[in-house]
Amino acid sequence: MREQGERDAGFPPPYGRSVTVAPALLAALAGLGAGASLIIAIGAQNTFVLRQGLRREHVVAVVLVCTLSDVALISAGVAGLGALVAALPLVVTVIRYAGALFLAGYAVLAARRAIRPDRLRADIGGAPVSRRSTVLTALALTWLNPHVYLDTVLLLGGISAAYGAERAAFSVGAALASAVWFAGLGFGARLLAPVFARPAAWRVLDGVIALVMLALAVTLVLGA
């Protein structure tokens, strides 16, 4: 009688019964974890977002470009574009060398900023750059980087296949990971502002950026 009364009163079922988690929620959590594990690493996108966050320059635009690009690529991978890209090695090769050339050029610019401290201003870390130029750079660092396709289109697209009808939920979780990460990196960078109040700190950052970009360019040329 007590159990019947609890059900009638709207109480939860007795302790000890198993609780079923919605498959869509499990798929979304899996996408969140997979997306976070792939995006949280030192790379072209992240170093650029960090630098713009430290400069407090066009942060919203950069975060939106990187996030929306990841959403588009993740959606394409989940939709099956990864298999198509894998079947067209010529496309991957063209993107690889174009990306390597761009990254090498960006590395040279970062190295020049690091070597010539007179070009730096402690308050913003360099001369202002237009929003258009910043957005184009963010787009290039995203869409000309084959590693982005490997992570979002091929890897996440392949993992999502295991979730069948819940692939859309998986893609939502992965996209959420990108949005949270880029927003945190871009807007949270200002917490490091006291450290980068000195020109020497900007020289170190640009030196690290130059090495990262150059290493990525060499990796792409070698086909690793």
Model confidence pLDDT, tens digit, residues 110-163 = 788 778 754 444 344 556 788 999 999 999 988 888 778 777 877 777 777 777
Please report whether residue 188 resides in a domain: yes
pLDDT bucket at 66, cuts 50 / 70 / 90: very high
Q: What is residue 122's predicted lDDT score, i.e. its pLDDT? A: 38
- CA 144, chain centre distance (Å): 14
Residue with tokens 């660092």: 141
Please report whether residue 167 resides in a domain: yes
Q: What is residue 17's predicted lDDT score, i.e. its pLDDT? A: 46
Please report whether residue 35 resides in a domain: no
| Cβ–Cβ under 8 Å, residues 216 and 43 | yes
Please report whether residue 201 resides in a domain: yes
The domain tally of the chain equals 1
Q: Which amino acid does the sequence have at 80?
A: G
pLDDT bucket at 37, cuts 50 / 70 / 90: confident
Helix H or strand E encompassing 36: helix 23-39
| Cβ–Cβ under 8 Å, residues 171 and 74 | yes
Please report whether residue 3 resides in a domain: no
Judged against a pLDDT cut of 70, whether residue 98 lies above it is answered with yes
Q: What is residue 26's predicted lDDT score, i.e. its pLDDT? A: 84
CB atoms within 10 A of CB 108: 13
Judged against a pLDDT cut of 70, whether residue 6 lies above it is answered with no
Please report whether residue 223 resides in a domain: yes
Q: What is residue 82's predicted lDDT score, i.e. its pLDDT? A: 61
pLDDT bucket at 183, cuts 50 / 70 / 90: very high
> For 2-10, what is the mean pLDDT?
48
Q: What domain range includes position 103?
A: 59-119+128-224
